[in-house]
Amino acid sequence: MKNSMWGKRVLAVIATATLALPLIAGCTASEAKDTEQRVLRVATMWGGQDDSYFRQQFTDAFELTHPNVTIEIVAAVNQSNYGYGQSGQQPGLSDALENMKKIMTEENPVDVVVADAQIIKSLIQDNMLKQLDPLMDEDKFNKSDIVPSVLEGIKDLGDQNLYALSPTFSSSALYYNKKMFQAAGVEPPTDNMTWDDIFNLATRMTSGEGDNHVFGFSFTTYQNGSPYYSMQQYYSSLQLKVFDDKAEKMMVNSPQWEKVWSTISKLVINKIIPKGDEQFDKGVEGQYSPLQGDLFLSGQASMVIGDYSYINQLIDANKNADKMKDFTKLDWDVVTPPVHPEAPEIGGNIYLSNLMAINSAAQNPDDAWELIKYMNSEDWAKIKARSSYEMVSRKSFIKPKDGLDYNIEAFYTLKPVLPPSKNLEELYQRMPNIWQVNDKGMEYFNQVLENKKTPKEALGEWAAKGNEMLEKLKKDPKATFQ
Lowest mean pLDDT among 73-82, 128-137, 249-258, 370-379: 73-82
The pLDDT assigned to 6 comes to: 40
The pLDDT assigned to 22 comes to: 41
In 151-202, the DSSP E strands lie at 168-169, 172-177
> Which carries the bigger pLDDT value, residue 371 or residue 478?
371
Instruction: Report how far residue 254's alpha carbon sits from residue 330's, in angstroms, rounded to the nearest whole number.
Output: 42
Nearest residue to 368 via CA among 55, 66, 78: 66
Mean pLDDT calculated for residue range 178-197: 97
Counting residues of the chain whose pLDDT is more than 70, the rounded percentage is 86
Residue 73 near residue 42 (C-beta atoms within 8 A): yes
CATH class name, domain 173-225+274-348: alpha beta
Mean pLDDT calculated for residue range 201-223: 94
The pLDDT assigned to 32 comes to: 47
Contacts of 22 (CB under 8 A, 6+ apart): none
Is 23's pLDDT higher than 80? no
Identify which of 174-183, 345-354, 419-428 has the greatest average pLDDT: 174-183
- Reply yes or no on domain 34-170+351-416 having CATH 3.40.50.300: no
DSSP tally for the chain: helices H, then strands E = 18, 11
Residue 159's H or E segment, with its range, is: none
The pLDDT assigned to 81 comes to: 55
The pLDDT assigned to 305 comes to: 96
Residue 334: strand pairing partners: 175
Instruction: Report how far residue 46's alpha carbon sits from residue 479's, in angstroms, rounded to the nearest whole number.
Output: 27
In 154-227, the DSSP E strands lie at 168-169, 172-177
Q: What is the DSSP letter of 65?
A: H
Beta strand 332-335 with 172-177: parallel, antiparallel or unpaired? antiparallel
In 332-451, the DSSP E strands lie at 332-335, 346-348, 355-358, 391-392, 415-416
Mean pLDDT calculated for residue range 17-29: 41
| pLDDT digit string, tens, across residues 36-95 | 899 999 999 877 667 888 898 889 999 999 999 999 999 998 766 555 444 444 556 667
The pLDDT assigned to 322 comes to: 87
Per-residue pLDDT band at 256 (split at 50, 70, 90): very high
> Which carries the bigger pLDDT value, residue 288 or residue 100?
100
Residue 415 near residue 348 (C-beta atoms within 8 A): yes
Nearest residue to 100 via CA among 86, 85, 112, 84: 112
SS3 351: strand
Beta strand 168-169 with 391-392: parallel, antiparallel or unpaired? antiparallel
**Residue range(s) of every CATH 3.40.190.10 domain in the chain:** 34-170+351-416, 173-225+274-348
| pLDDT digit string, tens, across residues 120-156 | 999 999 999 999 999 999 999 999 999 999 999 999 9
The pLDDT assigned to 7 comes to: 46
The pLDDT assigned to 429 comes to: 76
Instruction: Report how far residue 11's alpha carbon sits from residue 7's, in angstroms, rounded to the nearest whole number.
Output: 6
The pLDDT assigned to 19 comes to: 39
Mean pLDDT calculated for residue range 379-389: 84
Is 12's pLDDT higher than 80? no
The pLDDT assigned to 385 comes to: 87
CA dihedral 339, 341, 344, 349 (to 10 degrees): -20
What is the rounded average pLDDT for all residues in the chain?
87
In degrees, rounded to 5, the angle at the alpha carbon of residue 383 between the alpha carbons of residues 387 and 356 is: 80
The pLDDT assigned to 33 comes to: 53
Please report the DSSP string for 280-305 in residue order: ---S-TTS--TTTTBTTTTTSBSEEE
Is 403's pLDDT higher than 60? yes
How many residues does this entry show for the chain?
482
